[in-house]
A and B are shown apart, each in its own frame.
Chain A
Amino acid sequence: QPVLTQPTSLSASPGASARFTCTLRSDINVGPYRIFWYQQKPGSLPRYLLKYNSDSDKQQGSGVPSRFSGSKDDSTNAGLLLISGLQSEDEADYYCAIWYSNTLVFGGGTKLTVL
């Protein structure tokens, strides 16, 4: 089982919200880990969105709108990325990552379609 699991795809309508999940393997407790989120549009380099550990330990990427936010769900052992007020330009691949056991582990990515 991979360290991080992300749904392959997600679709939502313009103006709606999109909720991305990044589920940690069952033997890894999400509690202590900072969850990093990146956005990658086709043909472009990845863009850092934010990192989230707790409400007192979080960082928004430079120039990233506040409609992008992070959180955790202890009940599902997952990191979450929420995008509110979806725009067509948000259509992209979204990757989560954690620094785990001296490695940076990426999730497989979720492709967001805004339709």
Chain B
Amino acid sequence: EVRLVESGGALVLPGGSLRLSCAASGFTFSSYEMIWVRQAPGKGLEWVSYISSSGSTIYYADSVNGRFTISRDNAKNSLYLQMSSLRAEDTAVYYCARDLGVFWGQGTLVIVSS
């Protein structure tokens, strides 16, 4: 069974940093591209970032480019999202997903507020 479990969400001050993790199991993690998607309260889905199976290709949404860094450790079956210079508008549930959203984690909540 494919399983994706996010962690690391928290309440953080504007300008602060946070690292999200996504633990994958039930499939060969190193064979699949992964994405982060977020959803602000009461809003729709917003793609955040993409990483290829090897980690050699990475893309970001304009809204996070230069502030967020996606990475993966295929030996640990884990995906990461390092977030810095956080803003109130980054407040959202952050989901990791396999492929382009074929499988989703349950999400982790990030609140950016003073």
Binding site for B on A (CB under 8 A): 36, 38, 40, 45-48, 61, 93, 95, 97, 99, 102-109
Contact = CB atoms under 8 A, between A and B. Distances in A.
A108 B107 CA distance: 19
Task: Label chain B's interface by main secondary structure.
Answer: strand
Nearest to B93: A45
A48 B107 contact: no
Given A104-B47, A108-B44, A48 B35 contact: no
B104 A47 contact: yes
- Identify the interface centre among A46, A93, A104: most chain B CB within 10 Å of its CB: A104
Interface string B25-67: 0000000000101000000111100100000000101000000
Contact of B102 (A40, A45, A48, A106): A48
B104 A45 contact: yes
Contact of A36 (B44, B59, B100, B106): B100
Contacts of A107: 44
Interface in B68-114: 95, 97, 100-107
Nearest to B97: A46
Interface residues of B, number: 19
Given A97-B100, A99-B100, A109 B95 contact: no
Contacts of B104: 45-48
B16 to A, nearest CB: 26
Nearest to B58: A102
11 contacts: A36-B100, A38-B45, A40-B45, A46-B37, A46-B45, A46-B95, A61-B102, A103-B59, A106-B45, A106-B47, A109-B45
Contacts of B105: 45
A105 B35 CA distance: 12
A97 B100 CA distance: 9
B50 A104 contact: yes
Interface string B2-33: 00000000000000000000000000000000
A76 B97 CA distance: 30
Contacts of B61: 103
Q: Which 4 A-B pairs have the closest CB atoms?
A: A104-B47, A106-B45, A109-B44, A102-B59
